[in-house]
Structure 1
């Protein structure tokens, strides 16, 4: 077999092993080292020469590069901020106050759930945490209000995925490190697409409830507290968390702080909020630190494994084979974008966003210059598309997160049914952004000047 054929075999084996359930990070490491040993093999004259192979030096260098990457410092800090906020008992107050504020709108509970998901996702960025917490908080409330179960489940699952798009997003930090793009411009580019998607979700809920009021009955008048109490609840729940998020995001977009510095301020702000809400305990701090360390280690080892895998794959000629194949098709830029997004969409059925982003997106990145595609515009298309990896059966992880906390209260098929309209809304958002690129590009160009390759 030629080296490029070995590279394609390497990629196919990786996909097969992932589908069989092997851990992603260590599968990448094992295959990178195994095929890398073949790629860099230069003969063995003695027993000592067995370990005299450049793959071990490459693995060591990649590990060191990940650990000293300044951009990735923001990940544990944002994670810590999210875990502290999750344990500060803010979200239940936030959900209740938004529900009361939206009481006159069709599907007020669903709208409150979406808004709470958007705010909490922005503060957390941890899809599993958002869907799990909202499943425990919002789903029982919607059940007591006689909401349709499938409709309620779809709202929670779709809203919970917004955190990987709306800044400050951990996914965008990872993308910036992979594509060597400015995280500041990525954050600015994601603001309007994220708000557009959340807005379309809310519009869909309102229209759906107006067409079929039986799926989301109006709240009873006796359940609505005085207006003064509603304003007070909003003041103590919505305002502090929103101010914290705006300060973190504003300092980044205003150029006052790097993402890592802003994340550090956000982590401190999360602790301050927990103190103000009288929910900061040593046990909760320990849990937050442990979960942060666990998630950060996973991300870092994913990077080490993926960079090792990608280096070997490229050395064997895998990237060149795919690039030559795509270029030889003589595609127009729009055809290249459609093909790339279709591949990412299909990969979202069996894989999660981290695997797609770290392994498969880098295959397309070198081709952007060839087709004259703005890398920040492509990044936003990918970010929107990655929402589908949480919403597309059979591996819609947001559905499994919700099923895990609700257990026998709802069937998985009912959750999938509730997800389908939101999947269509994500695809509509991608079409709108393709037709109007300014949705993604206007704000970064306004804040930082027009992008020059």
Structure 2
């Protein structure tokens, strides 16, 4: 059997063995070592001196030296702490009250909480299970169709793996040699756009067929108003904002109100705190507009500004010959640290007499096209200037858009506060207590990365600390739950690390056998146009998503396509985000469809797996529609990274 045939046999065999249920990471390592031993076999060399063992050590060393992976355990810990802290119950109740008058309000609330909670945790299984416990029975008890209830939980629960901060994006960045922050910025709009398409579908389906989501009974749509809030509304004004202002200035009548929750008496300090709560919409609008103005008009116009802190970037290999890890590039050896063994002791090409020739790619998936440009995250990367040579003028469109946005925001605030009665105030208070802390934490974690204030790893540390503080403040995190969160974090991180080592060994042997070069020649021989290649590659990944999970697709098959992007002049960031959206189907497509099995485990017995599968099918079509729109309108993906980092 020729070397290329051996390489293709490896590729086919890995799919078959994984589908049989063997662990992915150890299957990758086992096949890589077995075929590599055959590739490097020399009858004159002792079994233990086969160079595949040197390759295994070098690939493991290179994968574990990849600094991009440092943020994974911290982001995973952040997600598990919030999931174990049970912070979502109050959030679901308050959001459901806020959207109680929308068609299919429980389904809409479930999608919003899935999206928001998925962003914060990034754990598909945890979000699906948690929302299955919290939302499935209420929807079924309200008469919702089983397919609608199961579909919105499974589809919404997968959004966390797409919208930053996402572990999948970090894994792709390490495999493809791309900047994490650029990928985060590129995936932001498509992720929220996909959630919007889900929302439009749910509301549209309910409007067309109201029987699938009956309106809630009146008693479930009423908001319980505390006695002290009712007293303020009667004593001062029906509109709560002027009532709170008047009560803060003249609290005599307010102090006669019944105690609040927990027996707290009404005092001037309590009234001032609630006045700030009532002004939260004004504060959010003002902070958002001020941040946009500061960044565009002030910050981006600085010429001599000091360089911001460096953002993490996947390091390039120290030498072309050291790259053999399926896209996992070894960083340059730091001074004083571990270094690669000399070439004489490392893995070398087998003798020409054996017929085994290493391809020009030097044994691995090469750095993808455009990596030398997009590897850095704009002005925030190592070795790049802090800003362009001169400020780029603010376009007139920004001022026009800013004025229109400010005017519409003012109109909305006026309309909102004209209807701001005791019921609306109580809903806002519940939202502020349950949603605001998580919203602020998520915003801070993403903003400090995108604006170059911290690295992704430092931001993940801030997020993990914030998750602990939130759970501690809510008094829901015990020592036992902390141990569970840490154990699950170690388990998940170990799985990812073993996957990278296995992928590095497998792809190195695959390339040395000539499998990578054979695939490239085969694709180029078809004379595909860039559009045709894009369609073919995404179609293959879509089909692979049926039997395989996203981790296996990212570390095994994505590196096969990466070297071909330069030939077809396809932006690796755009292609990568298309892969992220495409892989949503991996969680929604039978027979694997792990989100369906997660939900089945916590659903009532009468809910069958076929009903869950049927509920997921329309969302697969929405994923395809989203990908089509992303290709037709590339700015949906590329506008934000170009605006933030240029290039």
1:105-184 to 2 correspondences below 5 Å: 105-184=102-181
Question: 1:258: how far off?
Answer: 1.1
**Residue 527 of structure 2 corresponds to which residue in structure 1?**
330
Is the contact made by 1:44 and 1:50 (CA closer than 8 Å) also made in structure 2?
A: no
Structure 2: runs of 5 or more not aligned: 224-422
> Corresponding residue for 1:420?
617
If the length of structure 1 is used for normalisation, what is the TM-score? 0.97
- In structure 2, the partner of 1:357 is 554
Distance in 2 (alpha carbons) for counterparts of 1:147 and 1:287? 34
Aligned residues: 447
- Provide runs of 4+ in structure 1 moved above 4 Å: none
Deviations 1:272-293 (CA, angstroms, capped at 9, x unpaired): 0011101121111100000000
Does 1:370 pair with 2:567? yes
Residue 199 of structure 2 is aligned to residue 202 of structure 1: yes
Match of 1:187 in 2: 184
Q: Counterparts of 2:165 and 2:212 in 1: how far apart (Å)?
A: 34
CA-to-aligned-CA distance 1:275-324 (integer Å, 9 cap, x gap): 11011211111000000000000000000001100000000000100110
Q: How does 1:24-423 map to 2 (within 5 A)?
A: 24-45=24-45, 49-223=46-220, 224-225=222-223, 226-406=423-603, 408-423=605-620
CA separation in 2, counterparts of 1:151 and 1:117? 15
In 2: Cα distance, 1:155 partner to 1:439 partner: 24
Deviation at 1:62, TM superposition (A): 1.9
Secondary structure of 2:567's counterpart equals helix
State the shift of 1:228 in Å: 2.8
Partner of 1:15: 15
Matched position secondary structure for 1:409: coil
Q: Which runs of 5 or more residues in structure 1 are unaligned?
A: none
- State the 1:89 CA deviation: 2.0
Shift of residue 56, structure 1, vs aligned partner: 1.0
In 2: Cα distance, 1:10 partner to 1:204 partner:
42
Query: Which of the pair is proportionally richer in helix?
Result: 1
Distance in 1 separating the partners of 2:547 and 2:71: 28
Deviations 1:27-71 (A, max 9, x none): 0010011011111223335xxx21112211121122222222211
Q: Tell me if structure 1 keeps the 8 A contact 2:578–2:627.
A: yes
Structure 2 partner of 1:444:
641
- Give CA deviations for 1:255-274 in whole Å, capped at 9, x if unaligned: 11111110000000000001
The alpha-carbon deviation at position 407 of structure 1 amounts to 5.5
1:425-445 per-residue CA deviation (whole Å, 9 max, x = no partner) reads 000000000000010000000
> What is the alpha-carbon distance in structure 1 between the residues aligned to residue 573 and residue 455 of structure 2?
18
Q: Distance in 1 between matches of 2:154 and 2:531?
A: 31
Cα RMSD for the two superposed structures: 0.9
Deviation at 1:229, TM superposition (A): 2.5
Mean Cα displacement is larger for which, 160-169 or 222-231?
Answer: 222-231
Aligned partner of residue 42 in structure 1, secondary structure: coil
SS for the counterpart of 2:22 is: coil
Deviation per residue, 1:190-246 (Å, 9 max, x gap): 000001000000011110011111111122222221333221210111111011000
* Structure 1 counterpart of 2:5: 5
Larger radius of gyration: 2
Instruction: Kindly provide the CA deviation profile for residues 366-410 of structure 1, in whole angstroms up to 9, marking residues without a partner as x.
Output: 000000000000001100100000001122111111112226230
2 CA distance for matches of 1:409 and 1:245?
37
Q: Which moved more, 1:392-401 or 1:244-253?
A: 392-401
- Aligned 8 A contact 1:157 1:419 in 2: yes
Whether the 8 Å CA contact 2:104–2:206 is kept in 1: the answer is yes
* Contact 2:60/2:504 (8 A) holds in 1: no
